[in-house]
Structures are given as structure tokens and as C-alpha cells.
Structure 1
């Protein structure tokens, strides 16, 4: 049986309907562009056809290019779909539903009119994978709507809702009802009207200083990246050059980016975030319960953020706290957070009014008994969590899923407080919980496959990236950072200053340095974790300097002092000579000679420690893939996305070079630098660290 064509053409009442049917999202995969060209040619040649419609089958118009094809040789095509649509002598109407992104919007811009359903979204997000629009988007969009709004869209890569796209002038109309019928009627209505070919429009209007102002405004967030600046240069060409010359500039700039390190890293991150959802050892046909109602126990900053996540997804959530005062504060904090979002323009007042009532404060465990899922988010102490789970076991329905937001505590010890440990799993959020994309789903020794799969799915429903982790101290994400945290503190003992280490990591691409982050999250949190680990392991290496800061009342931003000093009402970190004095004093007491550090040693001490630990985590089956760990670092710890992830970045140095350095530091510093067996194997085989997989995956 012959395969169905990916592009179909049929004539309806004098209108040639070109339907792209390339599931799941009508990406511009093999045959799609050629199919559009052939369909346009067929419509042009048929005297019965007076106009044409370009539409997508299924759930989307054309969601963009097939990213798998970037960076690879592609067969030369004498004509692309863009060229055929642009040159058509009969009017072509793009009928958009779902998404018209990247090459999808570029094809729509080559049509002469564009209509959409109100729920559609359009955009040119290529910058997010390290390239720029390569199908004329940087030249057509500015000519259509002006340089400034086009520049903002292209440089940020954001998705624009259809109503806004209509206001901007990208769309000519929004339509209700059946899109196909409406598009045919619209096409019939424009027959005989002057053709609106964007390529024939003059260069885009741009206010003086626009492009330099944009370069200045992105300097911090676009540090070390090429693509945002190339996007600006391409739009600048659209404002100053004839169309053909501007297209030549776009083609040249696209060619410079397509195989750059930045683009390869961002493509890797894109695919890693899709692979992380796969847990191969779970049955594919596992029936999963539907989550209609939720509860959160603990109304603090974390619990409130988790509750907001449910409300944002339209799921009613009950919020419970140990005290009426804590509950009231938690609800007020949620209201304030939403109000700030409205003030910033990231949320409408109508959306706030819709979401806030979904969070229902309650005062007893009995009030949450009927919920499908409950997430515990109380203080990070085992006995406190066990007490909560004993209560949940008492009141919750047998089929309810019980999740703990612990960041490090043994899931099985928490589950042991219930008579249903198979219904318990970890759901480790990262702060702030309503903002950070990562949700680490932790499988306890007795967690059922259904509960694990449901927790993974729930994360995706809430707009998170769900990543699997096995049960161990710190699980996968935080455990992989233990070496990083240890080395940042030990280097301070040895003479590196906090501000140097922070500068090195910011220069590397982090939004904040690790000591500034510690101050923001609170030094007392890790202080208590160290105390717990020392109680469990007498040989645990303590960190006297941060301990002294906490004991002196310097707990970070919340007390106005931590590793840095803070002015009232200002979160800017200021270097504090008192911290320098305390460091010198503690080092002298321990007999540690201080020395100068190169920036490269700072960077490698921090990251090689974590590369080595990630290898241990994988070989112990506590994470499934090295690429999963990269996803965790990108979405949980602020690792610069344009570097791909920790293990992708490490491959740029090479497993052998990293192993040799780790082995040398093992000789110098002792057991904390013992090379993992997996790191050694990959090094000896000259393999890639990013391709490492857990033994359970075979």
C-alpha cells in the first residue's frame, strides 16, 4: 500500500486547498516543502482555481522546521515552498490553528493573507536553538509590522497569541467556527483584490538607535551567545536593504550559526528535554488515574508555589498548614505573587481572578481526604514529614497518590510512616516552585509503577519538565551538586574569595554566582543538611566557614548578611571585609595555607567534581541517562543553556582529559576526588560522557 502524501491538494468551489498532513505537528519534514511547491504549481496551472488556501491537518498549522535536519547536509532544491508561495499569481490564504512557528510562520508570511482561530499562536523561536529564521522571516516580518515589534519577537523567540498577532498586523482576521470553511470563504472574497506580497514592500521602518538599543538591552542575558546578535543584524538589513539583498544577509548569517557550538548545544538540549520523559522500564499501556483535585500540606514559600502551579494549570487545590497564622500568610503570599505578575504584565487581572479562587485554604486533614493527589511541603526534617504522612495515611482515600517535596531525605523512610508505601513517591520542586521548570520525580524502593508514571505525567500537566531519579541522599539533582558545593567552600578555605568564584561562574554563563545564590536561598538550609549528614556519617567533611556565618547570624539576604552584605530593601550583594577576615581566621585555625587560584582552576574544580559524581549516579541506576542530568542542570540550577548541559559541556573538554585531572586531584586531595568507574571506562574508550546510560537501560 502506497503511503499517503504529506501534502494534499483539492479544489473546492474554485479554491485550491493545500493541506499539510505530516503528524504529529506538521513540521517541515521530508517531502513537505516539495509537496507545497507541487500543490501551488497545480493550483497555478488549473484555470478552475481562482485562489488557494494553505492549511494544516490535525492539531496544528505548521509547527516549524524539523530540527533533526539542522546541521546535516540537505538536498539542494531549486524552489522552496517559500519561493513558490511568494511567487504565486493567484491569492494564497494561510489558515492557522495550533501553532505557526519558525518555518511555519515564514510560509504563512509568504502567503498573501493570513487568518487564524483565536487560540492559535505564531512566532519565530529559532533563536532558542541558536540560529535565526532562515526562510525569509527576518526580512518579511519587519516589512509587515515594522522593525521594532518584529525585532522583539525574533530576538526573544516568544510565541504570540493570535489576538495580539492581529493587533500587530501579522494576521488579517480571526475567525470562529470551522477554519477550513472560513478560509475557503475568505479566499473567495479576496479574488480580484490587489496582491499583498510582502517581498514587494519597501524596507521596514525603524526608529533611530533601535538596533543599538536592542544590543545594549540584551547584553547581560545574551552573554557569550551569537544568535541574538545575528538576529538583530538580520532585521537591521530588512530596514536598510532591498529584499533580495536582505535575504542574502539572512542566508549568510544563518550559515554562520547553523553548525556553531552554540546551535549544536541548544539542539542537544532541545532533544534531551524530550527524551527525559521516557522511562523505558515502565509499561507503555499502563492505565493512569486522572488528577482532578489536589492538596498541598505546608503553606510556606515552597508549598504556596506548588499550590500556584496547580491553580495555573486549572486544577483546584486545597492548602493546609499546621497553624492558622501560617495558612493566612501563605494565602496572602500567593495573592501578592499573582498581583506582582499582573503589575509586570505577565498575567492579566482576569487570569488572576480565575486562578486565585482555585486555591482553597483548609484547616484540617479531613478537608483534603477526597483529593486525588497530595504533596507534602513541610520543614525538611524526617520526623516532621513522617508525622504528616501518618495523618495522610489516616484520612486519604486508598487510591490517592502521596508525594513528598523533600530535596534529600530517604523516600522509603517517609513512606514507612504509612501502610501504603507503594502509593508514595518524591516530587522534588526547585525554588521558586511556581517558576522553576524542573520537577524531580523520585522512585522509592516500594513506589508502584502506576504512581511513578502518574507523578511524571502530573509534572508535565503542570508545565514542568519531569525527570526521573532513584532514591538516595540528595537524589540525582542535588546529589550531583554536592561536589560543586563542597569545592566552592574548600577553595575559599584555600584562598579563593567568594567574589572571584561568583565572577568566574557568571562569566561562564550562570545568571548568578553560587555564593550569591546561597545567600538568596538561605545559608541555614544547607547548615541543617550538613548537621544531618554528619550525624549519619562521622567522617562527613564539614565546612567551618559557612557554619560560622550562620552561627554569627549571617543567614543570607533574609538577615541582611551572608557571604555578602545587603542594604535594606536591596538584593545587590556587596563584598564584605568582615567575611574576608572570618575566612582568613578559619583557615589559620585549620592550618590551611592560602594561595591564589586561576579562573580556569576555579571553573574546573567546581564542574569536574560534579561530572565525576554524575557518572557515579548513573552507574548506581539513580539516574537513567547523562542527558537527563543535563536537563536537571539546565532547568534546576541555571546552567547556561547555550552550553548544552554539564555533560555536553564536559565532552567539549573530553572524558580522558577530565579523568586525568580528577585522578591527579585524587592523589593531591584524597578520597573525595576518587574517579568513578564509569568516568574511567568512558575515558579509556574515548567515548562521550553525554551518551552514558544506567545499567538498567542495558
Structure 2
């Protein structure tokens, strides 16, 4: 093997005869940081004319997998990636790239700028910039269409998906698929270039198979599918320039990239990207964990079946417990249906589905939980029932087994008191449907042991969920905030807005679904039961927002989608406003002596979001959530908050604390009991700080 020469800390070169090998070694993902960019130029210059072929490959587990996250938000140092790639493409000596692991973003753009691409079996390629509110800014929108055509390129760029090597080969994005170690493949492929067995060409010299109709239809499609988002539109505009000479197309791409960089959406999506990783980057999520070799789930209803499905898909055996054979059969049928759905969506193979079902052990005997490592109780949201179950589990489960409650609101400490081992108890609040929704609130009880808490985060990771730490209070993070701002829905409806207007305004703001549609989807009986519980416990003294309209709808047996009737009717397959709800609203207004007023969509959004932000600030203030970013991730992954807005507290920073205080004080003139300025928000308004500052401190 020829001796290698270090260009800098991350780039080295070696030469075997007429083949020069450039190795990128910038762990963990060989990101295109400044040292990599400069090193590539220096390596090309040092090789000069001493070789007849140059092969670029990477050390470690992957090819270049994107930009250097350390440079995010900073002014990039020269040379720029587009300049580096243009120089590589202009090389008179053929340059090939060898892809293993993943070639993502700038990594794929590097490969596209070389004169041939070889993928090692198992490799994947992708351009995920749209997921960050951006677009490929180093030639991806111009070079990929020249190699692979418009339909494939638009699909890859607009979806951000990772394309397997076989598909990439079929579409012309790579020229060959081989097996072996990256350096060995790089040398062999380069030698094939010398032997005329692997052809090379400059991508810029190719002509894209351009179709204006494809561009037009795709642009209309993205505007319809994501009317709020800017970057998909800019992606299409950039790709549309691929019929120009490369230099002109790159100028269009650069301007589209700059347009995206200057939008608040880019900041929101990048906040979401980093936030997803930040929530588990806390001391509580680290350290020793307990085994998760077998899990018990109590309850075969919607939640229990979803939790079981999620565990089985992650390869964890589950013992499912129900009290009656009918319920057990129904649960097994639901789990089977869930797994069949995963197969039909391409999430798992039929063989893996069969293997997952083989790991399911249905039982009517709670005693069968004696050997499991973790029990997740997922029964009716009644404290008495949960206390009874945990009392039994205390006598049945082995020493060291973790006892978890999938409660949405209830006091985990009171549940833990029913056992002789409160240190083994925690809350694991899954969101429905549990096998689809990615949020998992991990609720720390007063006596929860550190390794139990760390195991909760380990479970979230294994289930591919976003685990967020929460402290005990009524509703934890998400439902506590929801319980507060949902009262604004009642306020708006009683004072003059219709449920449909509220939903429409908030959907135009970017929510996946308006709050009344969400209520219908979740089941209006759930909110009704919780309001009754709160009234019994004296937790909801504000009768003005006590859910009068929602209670009367539920008392008629209209629970939403499950009964075909709620705020909306569902006979037509799509929600249509229920005219009888309007009658109920009029009756309640008359009883309370309310004269309806009109609201603009902007006023609806302002009140709704200000209420959400107010309670979210209090949740951070009293420590229920560790940091503002934890609140943001709860709402992005559990409540359909628009990802491009980053979360409620990231969005709050775009409004500013001073303006939020002004709004709350103005609304307080109508209802001083409900509208109260959180002390944290008042302090931020006074000293000019932001929730982003609190995240940095955290």
C-alpha cells in the first residue's frame, strides 16, 4: 500500500501508480466543514498532473453526510462548497467518488460534481435540505436533473428521502454499485477508468431532459400540499433552471437558496432539527439503564394496542394483558391490523410482520407479568383503576421491574404510592395512535430512580420516538398547556366565532388540524371526562371557560368521529359543520347574556397563540419542562404544531416578550382571572431576553 500524506487534520492523499486517492476523515459524518473544503482544494492542487485518475472516498461509517452543524448560524469561511465543487468538476483529470453509508446534502452534491459515482452496496443518497427550509445550494438542483431527469430529481429534492443504491443506479444518479471497503473500491474503480471499463464525463456537459409541464404540475402540487411552505416552491424554481447552461442555473439556485435563508421558516425548521436531538441531550437521559428484553402492556384498547404495536415493530417481545377474552381478541386484531398497515406502507416486510406477531403473547392473567422487565399500564383514565392495578403489580412483578403508567393527566406520585417501590415507577405518556405518533412524555415521579428515568429515554430511542422529560403536574407539559389554551376556543366561540372559523384560521396559520377537529378525532368524551374530574377535584374554578358548549355536545353522545357526529358531521367522509352545534352555542350565549361579536382570523390566531405561549412560559418557569425547547418538541411531535414555526416558544421569540405582555394586559381587561402575565415573560420583556437565551443556559 502506498504511503499517505496528510493535507490537514481531515484530508489525506495517497497514490498507487496513476491513481491518486483522496480520503476524507472528519468524524462522525465527514461533514463538509471548512477544513474539508480547503483540504479538497489543496489535495487537488498537490496531486497536480502526477495522476491520471483521482478517486475521493471517506473513512469511517459513511461518505459525506451533510454540512458541518458547527457552522450553522455562522458566517461560512472560504472556500465555499459551490466553489470547491466547481473546481473539482472543471478538473482535466477524471475525478470519481466512492459512496458508502450515506451521501446526503453537500455530500451528494460533492459526488454529483465528480465525473463518475460508485456506490458501495447498502449506500443511500439524498438531498434533505427542504426539511430544514432550504434547498440544495451547491449544484444539487442543477446536476441531479442532468443525470437522472426531472421526475426523479424533483421527488428526491422535495421529499428529502434517502434513495437506496440500487434505485440510484437505475435512475442514473450513480454509475456502478460494488462491494468492498471504500479504499479498495476506490482503487479498483479508478483502475477501471484507466482501463476504459468505467466511463467518466462532466455533469455540466450533459443536457437535462427538460419538460415544462412536469415543472408546472409539480409547482402546483407543492403549493396545494404545503401552502405555508416557501422552500418547496423555491426548490422547484431552482430545478426549473436546469435547462440553462450550468453557470446560469447555479446563479438561479444560489438566489433561491438566499431567498430561503432569509425566511423565518428556515430558522424554525432548523430549531426543530436541533431540538429533536436536544431533548435527550440531558443528564437524566444518560447513565445506567435497566433491561428491556420483555415488556408487559396492560390494556388492549386503542392506546394499549398502539403501544404494543410500537414495541413489536422495534423487536421487543410483549405480553398483552386484558381482563376478558373479547377485549383480548379485539386487541390482537387491532395489533395485527396495525402491522398489516405497516407492511402496506412499506415500513416493514411481511416476514418482519410475522416475526413481530410471533413475539406477542396475549394473556388474561396479570400474574403472567412476573418475568417482564417493564410494564406499561394503558387502561381507562381513572385514578381508582390505576391505583388498583399498581397495587397488584407490586406483588406480581419481579424485583427491579419498571412500572409505568400511560396516563395523560393523573398524578404519577399518587399511583406510585400504591407500591412498595415508588423508585421503580414513572409515567410514559404515549400519544395516539401510539405506533405512529413520535412523542413520548417521560414523567419523573418524586422518587423515580435515575436508572429508571434513563431507561425511559432508552425505550424512546429504541421505539424511534422523541422522548421529552416532564415533571408531575395535572397534564404534564402538553396536556397542561392544552388545558389552558383550549379554554380560548370556548371563549372565542361563545363570544362570536364559529368552531369552523376558529379551525380554519388556525389551519391557515399552519396547524395540521383545527382544535375542534382535533377534539372530534380524539373523542369529545375524553375531554368531557377530564373536565368532570377537574371540577370534582376543584382544579377548574373558572366557570366562564368551563367547557359549557363542549359538555353539552358530549352529553348528547356526540363524541366526534367515533360516533359520526361532534362539532362536525362525518357522513360525507369529510368534516361538515354540525348545524345542531350552532343551536347549542346560541342557547349557551342566551343563558349567559353574551352578545356575539366578530373576530378576524388574525385576532383568533393572536389570542389562541398568546394563551398557548402564556401557559408554556409558566411550565418552563415552574420547572415542569426543563427548557423551552422541550415544550417546542412536545408540540411539534404531539400536537400538530407547524414544524416550520419551530414550536410555540420559538414562535414566541418572533413576536417578542414585550408584545406578548402588551397583548395579555389588553385581554385582561375582558377577563383578568384568565389573562395573567407569567412572571418569566414579564422579566424577559424587561431585560430583552428570549426563550432561545434560556435554551442556551439550559
TM-score normalised by the chain length of structure 2: 0.94
Is it true that 1:677 corresponds to 2:679 in the alignment? yes
For residues 333 and 542 of structure 2, the distance between their equivalents in structure 1, rounded to whole angstroms, comes to 40
Say if 1:175 and 1:392 are closer, same or farther in 2 by CA, change over 3 A.
Answer: farther
Alignment match, 1:287: 288
1:231 to 220, 235, 239: 235
Give matches, 1:126-275, under 5 Å.
Answer: 126-193=129-196, 195-207=199-211, 209-238=213-242, 240-275=243-278
Question: 1:101, CA displacement in angstroms?
Answer: 0.6
* Aligned-partner SS, 1:183: helix
Alignment match, 2:601: 599
Alignment match, 1:661: 663
Alignment match, 1:529: 530
Is it true that 1:467 corresponds to 2:468 in the alignment? yes
For residues 695 and 383 of structure 2, the distance between their equivalents in structure 1, rounded to whole angstroms, comes to 31
For residues 416 and 303 of structure 2, the distance between their equivalents in structure 1, rounded to whole angstroms, comes to 21
Is it true that 1:380 corresponds to 2:384 in the alignment? no
For residues 252 and 677 of structure 2, the distance between their equivalents in structure 1, rounded to whole angstroms, comes to 49
For residues 91 and 535 of structure 1, the distance between their equivalents in structure 2, rounded to whole angstroms, comes to 77
For residues 73 and 442 of structure 1, the distance between their equivalents in structure 2, rounded to whole angstroms, comes to 40
Residue by residue over 1:76-128, the C-alpha shift from the partner in whole angstroms, topping out at 9 and shown as x without a partner, is 42883312332233333322222211001111112223233333221000011
Contact persistence 1:342–1:352 (CA under 8 A)? yes
For residues 210 and 326 of structure 2, the distance between their equivalents in structure 1, rounded to whole angstroms, comes to 55
* Aligned-partner SS, 1:95: strand
* Aligned-partner SS, 1:371: coil
Question: 1:637, CA displacement in angstroms?
Answer: 0.9
Say if 1:16 and 1:508 are closer, same or farther in 2 by CA, change over 3 A.
Answer: same
Alignment match, 1:73: 75
Contact persistence 1:67–1:267 (CA under 8 A)? no
Question: 1:625, CA displacement in angstroms?
Answer: 0.8
For residues 424 and 340 of structure 2, the distance between their equivalents in structure 1, rounded to whole angstroms, comes to 36
Question: 1:6, CA displacement in angstroms?
Answer: 1.1
Structure 1 unmatched runs, 5+:
none
Give matches, 1:627-646, under 5 Å.
Answer: 627-646=629-648
For residues 428 and 202 of structure 2, the distance between their equivalents in structure 1, rounded to whole angstroms, comes to 50
Question: 1:598, CA displacement in angstroms?
Answer: 1.8
Structure 2 unmatched runs, 5+:
1-5
Contact persistence 2:370–2:398 (CA under 8 A)? yes
Contact persistence 2:409–2:476 (CA under 8 A)? yes
Is it true that 1:23 corresponds to 2:27 in the alignment? yes
Residue by residue over 1:215-274, the C-alpha shift from the partner in whole angstroms, topping out at 9 and shown as x without a partner, is 222224322221101101111111x21222211211121122123211122112222222
1:6 to 10, 34, 55: 10
Alignment match, 1:613: 615
For residues 72 and 216 of structure 1, the distance between their equivalents in structure 2, rounded to whole angstroms, comes to 34
Is it true that 1:562 corresponds to 2:566 in the alignment? yes
Question: 1:463, CA displacement in angstroms?
Answer: 0.7
For residues 35 and 21 of structure 1, the distance between their equivalents in structure 2, rounded to whole angstroms, comes to 11
Alignment match, 1:393: 394
For residues 93 and 501 of structure 1, the distance between their equivalents in structure 2, rounded to whole angstroms, comes to 56
* Aligned-partner SS, 1:31: helix
Contact persistence 1:666–1:673 (CA under 8 A)? yes
* Aligned-partner SS, 1:668: coil
Contact persistence 1:34–1:80 (CA under 8 A)? no
Residue by residue over 1:363-396, the C-alpha shift from the partner in whole angstroms, topping out at 9 and shown as x without a partner, is 3233333222222111111122222222322222
Contact persistence 1:625–1:691 (CA under 8 A)? no
Give matches, 1:391-540, under 5 Å.
Answer: 391-537=392-538, 539-540=541-542
Q: 352-361 or 546-555: which moved more?
A: 352-361
Q: 141-150 or 30-39: which moved more?
A: 30-39
For residues 305 and 45 of structure 2, the distance between their equivalents in structure 1, rounded to whole angstroms, comes to 57
Say if 1:664 and 1:61 are closer, same or farther in 2 by CA, change over 3 A.
Answer: same
Give the aligned CA root-mean-square deviation in angstroms. Answer: 2.2
Question: 1:283, CA displacement in angstroms?
Answer: 8.9
Contact persistence 1:147–1:205 (CA under 8 A)? yes
* Aligned-partner SS, 1:375: strand
Tell me the number of residue pairs that the alignment of Structure 1 and Structure 2 aligns. Answer: 688
* Aligned-partner SS, 1:648: helix
Say if 1:283 and 1:512 are closer, same or farther in 2 by CA, change over 3 A.
Answer: closer
Is it true that 1:583 corresponds to 2:606 in the alignment? no
For residues 647 and 32 of structure 1, the distance between their equivalents in structure 2, rounded to whole angstroms, comes to 36
Question: 1:13, CA displacement in angstroms?
Answer: 5.6
* Aligned-partner SS, 1:164: helix
Alignment match, 1:35: 39
Is it true that 1:324 corresponds to 2:328 in the alignment? no
Say if 1:8 and 1:519 are closer, same or farther in 2 by CA, change over 3 A.
Answer: same
For residues 216 and 368 of structure 1, the distance between their equivalents in structure 2, rounded to whole angstroms, comes to 54
Question: 1:664, CA displacement in angstroms?
Answer: 2.4
For residues 353 and 110 of structure 1, the distance between their equivalents in structure 2, rounded to whole angstroms, comes to 44
For residues 168 and 362 of structure 1, the distance between their equivalents in structure 2, rounded to whole angstroms, comes to 50
Is it true that 1:353 corresponds to 2:357 in the alignment? no
